[in-house]
């Protein structure tokens, strides 16, 4: 053969192809080039794979095969495809490699561009890729950044063949040339062979001209007096730079250091001309080939450039011609202040970014294909947002991608948030993969619990809400015990649960991360005192070293499970705090995690924000909050109604602080679309099979009316774990956008301190501190200690004044320290609907003390837009706490008063209505509804 491409070989230059594509390989395209054009190598980069994989369906068969395994990360999927191509190309080139005894015949695969600034990670990744590709004619491509240089030295010393990429300056080239020599010297010193180690230094051409030429054009357009001199070097700087780099190469060959290595069989590190497709169409399409032909060099050509050279290239060697001219061009560039140094430095950063962008886009494309493949095994999500919110969300997603939020979140980078200790609180990421629980131990516990009639969980907030939601939504196996979560000091509620069980045939679960929360302590004392209760049937779930762990051990609990201290309570549902109760209530935990995995991987570090369901939802929540839509209104389909009580703790306690945050609105009765203000973000969670016509038509009306609406679809209740994980990620992301630490709860302790003070005083004196009501008729009493504006008067006036202060953007809260039962929930719902419709404000409600460990943080620390009606009552049948003077009823009242004091202190509006007997509740409901009518 004697075409121009073949002639390059005679001039000492190797022809490589800067392109990979599955179909091209499968069709024998590469073998044809090897046979007909004398091609001896192939290069790839993230942009090349992005074009190949991201924009064609040629890879879909391979993709399905991989995705079938179920637990592949997106990077693993991408790598499997890329590696298969690289192996195929390496196999095509293997005869060349063998014939040339390892001097050529290489295929290059680049390390992740995300690692270009990390030496150790680059080393690790290069070793891993070399092992995975498992071909002697692989060159691992490593960026020649400052951090890349020591990695290159190490990898050469390891015995890998390395293609150093992203070289733009002679200084950078000389640094990697030295790293190559050092790596070889290290091997020689260790008595290892060096003759099969190949390396190329990829020196980029066209990207330099693209920058310099643009600067020249701008200067000429501005009327620069040096226009002629500038024009004279247009399109010449990159070539001159490369020619001089080649002179540097020749100089290295003259050193004794090199000669010593050569004597041991070392191969030269060839300069490879990369980026040789012309970017300025005004230039000859073979400009960056013809000018750079010389001995022991490589030119890697994009297919079009290769075709052009085959067609009309001139293979005369010119690389060492006109060196003085090259020096003159460089001197002129310097004199004309074209700042080549800055350009080449900038190109390295831009080059890393460009490849990272391509990788993001590629991973996004793979993620999209993966989602399609998974179908409804991955819970779906769609959003209808008003235009301005949609734009800010997309802009945010763009900056999140550029700033690598997916990777940084998984890498526990606290600078995503406030830069404090957030990095220590990300154990929930691993928990999502099931890494925090031991399935065998749970299976044993499930077996042990099977024979019991009931399981009663005693715990608060993060230690009870997740299990309660699982119990309400996920179907247990048949014959499993009934499950009760008790998170109250309300005497009636305690008595209700006690009345439903036989303590001798019940498994009790005392659940507290800190192991020092008051309520589970009191409840444990109470249930252990019931006839038939046996501590062997008690299980503790707590963090290692807690007070609960010590007492459970001392008291002979049947089992103790340890939580992960790197997980905060509200993020703990996929750890033992959710999974121990799940196992006890008969949920198939391994199957639950298998179903959850699809979301965990979809939200993985390699899933760019646009295709990362947790990140996208977090961006919507965060941006909506910043735009004043800070009331996250949860509208589930009937079977998912319970989900909100877990979600509201996560969102409220995580984001509601420093006067900022998101106020979750759960279980608010559905209103007409026009009863909602512009401070709402609606989220509809839908379980397949559920239907609710009124809800559906309201959702449609909301979206049509310009309200933001996120719709989430869950195909199967076993996929509930996906929602736990999605929302954890989303909340962490929303926290980052809002600018707070989503893992602390700075305002929760204050109410506990106030309640403790009152209880301690009670234990000492036998009475709670007296208070003076504004109104008392023997049925109800009203207090408003925080507001001096209130004078003793008629209750109707007090209530209407209280609600009259609500303006759009505010929210009304009903904090009810009474039994959580249906009649109470109904009454509260009626009051909420009346206030919402009358004042066009969001309404929230919580039963105390349950909500104190959940949404209470946001009510105290979040936006100061709340106006609360606290409801307390004198219980008709109080329940004593064994070993204490204070009864459950007294403790509950102390908690309510402590809560009120702190709300007042934090500048929220609050009025308290005390019911002197249970029947007064209905009267209160009527009075509230009348007060806003």
Please give the positions annotated as active site: 141
- Least Å distance, CB 649 to ligand F6P, is 7
Q: Which of residues 851-890 bind ligand E4P (CB under 6 A)?
A: none
Closest CA to 292 of 325, 316, 258: 316
Per-residue contact string for residues 642-681; x = within reach of ligand F6P by CB under 6 A = -----------x----------------------------
Which residues face 458 on adjacent strands? 486, 510
Q: Of the two residues 171 and 749, which places its CB atom closer to ligand F6P in the complex? A: 749
Residue 613 interacts with which of ligand F6P, ligand E4P, none, CB < 5 to 8 Å by class = none
Is residue 622 within 8 Å of 655, Cβ to Cβ?
A: no
- Joined tokens for residue 837: 């419709």
Q: Is 299 in the site for ligand E4P (CB under 6 A)?
A: no
Residue 513 interacts with which of ligand F6P, ligand E4P, none, CB < 5 to 8 Å by class = ligand F6P
- Least Å distance, CB 275 to ligand E4P, is 3
- Least Å distance, CB 892 to ligand F6P, is 15
Residue 18 interacts with which of ligand E4P, ligand F6P, none, CB < 5 to 8 Å by class = ligand E4P
Could you give the strand order of the β-sheet that contains 454-459, starting from the edge strand earlier in sequence?
A: 482-486, 454-459, 506-511, 538-542, 559-562
* Alpha-carbon torsion angle 324, 328, 331, 335, nearest 10: 160
Q: What is the distance between the alpha carbons of residues 122 and 140, in angstroms, rounded to a whole number?
A: 10
Task: Figure out which of the listed residues 15, 156, 460, 699 binds ligand F6P, where binding follows CB under 6 A.
Answer: 460
Q: Which of residues 47-66 bind ligand E4P (CB under 6 A)?
A: 47
Which residues face 179 on adjacent strands? none
Q: What is the distance between the alpha carbons of residues 429 and 723, in angstroms, rounded to a whole number?
A: 13
Beta strand 866-873 pairing with 811-816: parallel
- Joined tokens for residue 408: 């940084």
Q: What is the distance between the alpha carbons of residues 90 and 642, in angstroms, rounded to a whole number?
A: 56
Q: Of the two residues 44 and 267, which places its CB atom closer to ligand E4P in the complex? A: 44
| Burial degree of 234 (CB within 10 A; 0-12, 13-18, 19+) | middle
E strands, 757-864, are 775-776, 780-783, 811-816, 842-847
Per-residue contact string for residues 744-763; x = within reach of ligand F6P by CB under 6 A = -x--x---------------
Q: Of the two residues 307 and 787, which places its CB atom closer to ligand E4P in the complex? A: 307
Which residues face 665 on adjacent strands? 633
Task: Figure out which of the listed residues 40, 73, 122, 202 binds ligand E4P, where binding follows CB under 6 A.
Answer: 202
Q: Give the nearest residue (CB) to ligand F6P.
A: 569
- Least Å distance, CB 246 to ligand E4P, is 17
Query: What are the C-alpha distances in Å from 361 to residues 115, 350, 370?
Result: 17, 16, 14
- Give the three-state DSSP class for 915: strand
Q: Is 344 in the site for ligand E4P (CB under 6 A)?
A: no
Q: Is 165 in the site for ligand E4P (CB under 6 A)?
A: yes
Q: Of the two residues 458 and 681, which places its CB atom closer to ligand F6P in the complex? A: 458
Q: Which of residues 819-848 bind ligand E4P (CB under 6 A)?
A: none
- Least Å distance, CB 543 to ligand F6P, is 8
Angle CA 255–261–266, to nearest 5 = 120
Q: Give the nearest residue (CB) to ligand E4P.
A: 275
Q: Is 18 in the site for ligand E4P (CB under 6 A)?
A: yes
Q: Is 567 in the site for ligand F6P (CB under 6 A)?
A: no
- Least Å distance, CB 339 to ligand F6P, is 55
Q: What is the distance between the alpha carbons of residues 667 and 669, in angstroms, rounded to a whole number?
A: 6
Residue 462 interacts with which of ligand E4P, ligand F6P, none, CB < 5 to 8 Å by class = ligand F6P
Q: Of the two residues 115 and 635, which places its CB atom closer to ligand E4P in the complex? A: 115
Residue 165 interacts with which of ligand E4P, ligand F6P, none, CB < 5 to 8 Å by class = ligand E4P
Task: Figure out which of the listed residues 299, 361, 436, 517 binds ligand F6P, where binding follows CB under 6 A.
Answer: 517
Q: Is 853 in the site for ligand F6P (CB under 6 A)?
A: yes
Q: Is 431 in the site for ligand F6P (CB under 6 A)?
A: no
Query: What are the C-alpha distances in Å from 746 to residues 209, 772, 858?
Result: 56, 30, 10
- Joined tokens for residue 615: 């990140």
Q: What is the distance between the alpha carbons of residues 494 and 364, in angstroms, rounded to a whole number?
A: 51
Question: Residue 152: CB partners within 8 Å, gap ≥ 6?
Answer: 142, 144, 162, 164, 176, 179, 180, 183
Residue 657 interacts with which of ligand E4P, ligand F6P, none, CB < 5 to 8 Å by class = none
Q: Which of residues 702-731 bind ligand E4P (CB under 6 A)?
A: none
Binding part of the chain for ligand F6P, among 393-401, 449-457, 508-516, 665-673 by CB under 6 A, reads: 508-516
Q: Of the two residues 528 and 547, which places its CB atom closer to ligand F6P in the complex? A: 547
- Least Å distance, CB 745 to ligand F6P, is 5
Binding part of the chain for ligand F6P, among 180-188, 193-201, 512-520, 906-914 by CB under 6 A, reads: 512-520
Q: Of the two residues 154 and 517, which places its CB atom closer to ligand F6P in the complex? A: 517
Task: Figure out which of the listed residues 4, 5, 42, 43 binds ligand E4P, where binding follows CB under 6 A.
Answer: 43
Q: Please report, in angstroms and rounded to a whole number, the separation of the first and last CA atoms in the chain.
A: 95
Residue 460 interacts with which of ligand E4P, ligand F6P, none, CB < 5 to 8 Å by class = ligand F6P
DSSP structure class, residue 487: -
The helix (H) or strand (E) run that includes residue 131 is helix 119-133
Q: Is 463 in the site for ligand F6P (CB under 6 A)?
A: yes
Question: Residue 13: CB partners within 8 Å, gap ≥ 6?
Answer: 293, 294, 295, 297, 298, 299, 317
Q: What is the distance between the alpha carbons of residues 135 and 130, in angstroms, rounded to a whole number?
A: 8
Question: Residue 840: CB partners within 8 Å, gap ≥ 6?
Answer: 675, 676, 677, 808
Q: Is 199 in the site for ligand E4P (CB under 6 A)?
A: no
Tallying the residues shown for the chain, one arrives at 933
Q: Of the two residues 570 and 686, which places its CB atom closer to ligand F6P in the complex? A: 570
Sign of CA dihedral 589, 568, 848, 717: negative
Is residue 20 within 8 Å of 42, Cβ to Cβ?
A: yes
Residue 207 interacts with which of ligand F6P, ligand E4P, none, CB < 5 to 8 Å by class = ligand E4P
Question: By rule CB under 6 A, what count of residues binds ligand F6P?
Answer: 14
Q: Of the two residues 514 and 675, which places its CB atom closer to ligand F6P in the complex? A: 514
Binding part of the chain for ligand E4P, among 40-48, 66-74, 744-752, 869-877 by CB under 6 A, reads: 40-48
Question: Residue 753: CB partners within 8 Å, gap ≥ 6?
Answer: 898
Q: Of the two residues 503 and 523, which places its CB atom closer to ligand F6P in the complex? A: 523
Q: What is the distance between the alpha carbons of residues 129 and 149, in angstroms, rounded to a whole number?
A: 18
Per-residue contact string for residues 265-284; x = within reach of ligand E4P by CB under 6 A = ---------xx-x-------
Task: Figure out which of the listed residues 46, 54, 351, 462 binds ligand F6P, where binding follows CB under 6 A.
Answer: 462
- Joined tokens for residue 143: 């960026």
- Give the three-state DSSP class for 509: strand
Query: What are the C-alpha distances in Å from 264 to residues 103, 104, 261, 268?
Result: 15, 19, 5, 12
- Give the three-state DSSP class for 139: strand
Closest CA to 615 of 785, 707, 736: 736
Sign of CA dihedral 598, 600, 606, 610: positive
Residue 745 interacts with which of ligand E4P, ligand F6P, none, CB < 5 to 8 Å by class = ligand F6P
Task: Figure out which of the listed residues 569, 604, 605, 608 binds ligand F6P, where binding follows CB under 6 A.
Answer: 569
Residues forming contacts to ligand E4P in the complex (CB under 6 A) are 18, 43, 45, 47, 165, 202, 204, 206-207, 274-275, 277, 300
Q: Which residues bind ligand F6P (CB under 6 A)?
A: 460-463, 512-514, 517, 569-570, 653, 745, 748, 853
């Amino acid at each position: 053969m004697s075409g121009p491409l073949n002639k390059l070989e005679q001039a000492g230059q190797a022809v490589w192809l800067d392109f990979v594509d599955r179909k091209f390989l499968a069709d024998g395209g590469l073998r044809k080039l090897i046979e007909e054009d004398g091609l001896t190598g192939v290069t790839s980069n993230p942009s090349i794979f992005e074009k190949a994989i991201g924009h064609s369906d040629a890879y879909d068969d391979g993709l399905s095969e991989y995705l079938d395994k179920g637990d592949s990360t997106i990077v693993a999927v991408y790598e499997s495809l890329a590696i298969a191509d690289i192996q195929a190309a390496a196999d095509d080139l293997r005869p060349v490699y063998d014939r040339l005894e390892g001097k050529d015949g290489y295929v290059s695969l680049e390390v992740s561009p995300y690692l270009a600034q990390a030496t150790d990670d680059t080393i690790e990744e290069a070793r891993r890729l070399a092992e995975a590709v498992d071909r002697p004619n692989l060159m691992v491509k490593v960026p020649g950044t400052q951090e890349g240089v020591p990695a290159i030295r190490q990898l050469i010393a390891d015995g890998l063949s390395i293609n150093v990429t992203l070289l733009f300056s002679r200084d950078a080239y000389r640094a990697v040339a030295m790293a190559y020599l050092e790596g070889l010297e290290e091997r020689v010193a260790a008595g290892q062979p060096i003759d099969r180690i190949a390396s190329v230094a990829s020196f980029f051409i066209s990207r330099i001209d693209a920058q310099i030429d643009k600067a020249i054009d701008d200067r000429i357009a501005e009327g620069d007096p040096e226009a002629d001199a500038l024009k004279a070097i247009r399109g010449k700087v990159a070539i001159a730079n490369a020619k001089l780099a080649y002179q540097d190469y020749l100089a290295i060959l003259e050193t004794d250091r090199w000669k010593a290595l050569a004597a041991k069989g070392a191969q030269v590190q060839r300069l490879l001309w990369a980026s040789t497709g012309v970017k300025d169409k005004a230039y000859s399409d073979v400009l960056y080939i013809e000018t750079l032909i010389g001995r022991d060099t490589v030119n890697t050509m994009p297919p079009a450039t290769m075709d052009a050279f085959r067609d009309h290239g001139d293979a005369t060697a010119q690389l060492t011609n006109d060196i003085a001219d090259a020096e003159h061009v460089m001197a002129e560039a310097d004199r004309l202040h074209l700042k080549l140094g800055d350009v080449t430095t900038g190109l390295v950063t831009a080059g890393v970014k460009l490849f990272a962008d391509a990788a993001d886009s590629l991973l996004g494309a793979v993620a999209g294909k993966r989602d399609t493949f998974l179908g409804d095994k991955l819970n779906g999500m769609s959003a209808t947002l008003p235009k301005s919110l949609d734009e800010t969300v997309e802009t945010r997603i763009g900056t999140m991608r550029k700033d690598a939020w997916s990777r940084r979140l998984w890498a526990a980078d606290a600078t995503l948030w406030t830069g404090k200790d957030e990095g220590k609180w990300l154990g929930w990421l691993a928990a999502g993969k099931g890494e925090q629980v031991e399935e065998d131990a749970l299976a044993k516990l499930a077996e042990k619990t099977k024979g019991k009639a009931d399981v009663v969980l005693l715990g608060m907030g993060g230690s009870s809400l997740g299990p309660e939601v699982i119990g309400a939504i996920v179907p247990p196996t048949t014959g499993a015990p009934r499950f009760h979560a008790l998170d109250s000091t309300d005497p009636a509620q305690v008595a209700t649960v006690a009345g439903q069980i036989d303590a001798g045939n019940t498994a009790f679960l005392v659940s507290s991360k800190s192991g020092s929360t008051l309520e589970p302590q009191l409840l444990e004392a109470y249930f252990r005192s019931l006839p038939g209760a046996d501590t062997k049937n008690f299980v503790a779930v707590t963090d290692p070293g807690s007070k609960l762990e010590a007492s459970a051990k001392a008291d002979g609990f049947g089992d103790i499970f340890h939580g992960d201290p790197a997980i905060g309570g509200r993020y703990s549902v996929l750890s033992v705090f959710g999974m121990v109760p799940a196992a006890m209530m008969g949920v198939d935990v391994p199957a639950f995690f298998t179903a959850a995995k699809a979301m965990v991987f979809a939200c993985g570090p390699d899933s760019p924000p646009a295709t990362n369901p947790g990140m996208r939802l977090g961006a919507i929540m965060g941006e909506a909050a910043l735009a004043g839509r800070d009331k996250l209104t949860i509208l589930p389909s009937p079977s998912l109604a319970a989900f909100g009580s877990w979600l509201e703790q996560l969102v409220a306690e995580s984001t509601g602080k420093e006067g900022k945050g998101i106020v979750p609105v759960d279980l608010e009765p559905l209103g007409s679309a026009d009863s909602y203000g512009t401070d709402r973000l609606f989220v509809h969670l839908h379980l397949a099979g559920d239907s609710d016509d009124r809800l559906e038509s309201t959702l449609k009306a909301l979206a049509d009316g310009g309200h933001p609406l996120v719709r989430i679809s869950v195909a199967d209740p076993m996929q509930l774990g996906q929602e736990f994980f999605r929302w954890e990620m989303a909340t962490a992301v929303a926290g980052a956008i809002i600018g707070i630490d989503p893992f602390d709860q700075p305002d929760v302790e204050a109410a506990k301190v106030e309640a403790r003070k009152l209880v301690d005083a009670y234990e000492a004196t036998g009475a709670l501190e007296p208070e003076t009501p504004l109104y008392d008729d023997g049925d109800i009493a009203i207090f408003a200690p925080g507001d001096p504006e209130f004078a003793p008067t008629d209750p109707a006036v007090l209530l209407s004044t209280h609600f009259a202060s609500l303006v759009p953007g505010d929210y009304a809260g009903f904090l009810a320290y009474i039994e959580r039962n249906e009649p109470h929930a109904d009454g509260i719902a009626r009051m909420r609907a009346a206030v919402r419709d009358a004042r066009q404000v969001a309404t929230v409600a919580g039963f105390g003390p349950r909500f104190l460990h959940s949404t209470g943080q946001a009510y105290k620390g979040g936006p100061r837009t709340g106006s609360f009606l606290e409801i307390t009552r004198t219980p008709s049948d109080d329940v004593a706490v064994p070993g204490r003077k204070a009864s459950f009823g007294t403790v509950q009242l102390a908690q309510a008063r402590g809560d009120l004091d702190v709300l007042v202190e934090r500048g929220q509006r609050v009025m308290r209505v005390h019911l002197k007997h249970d029947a007064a509740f209905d009267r209160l409901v009527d009075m509230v509804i009348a007060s806003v009518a």
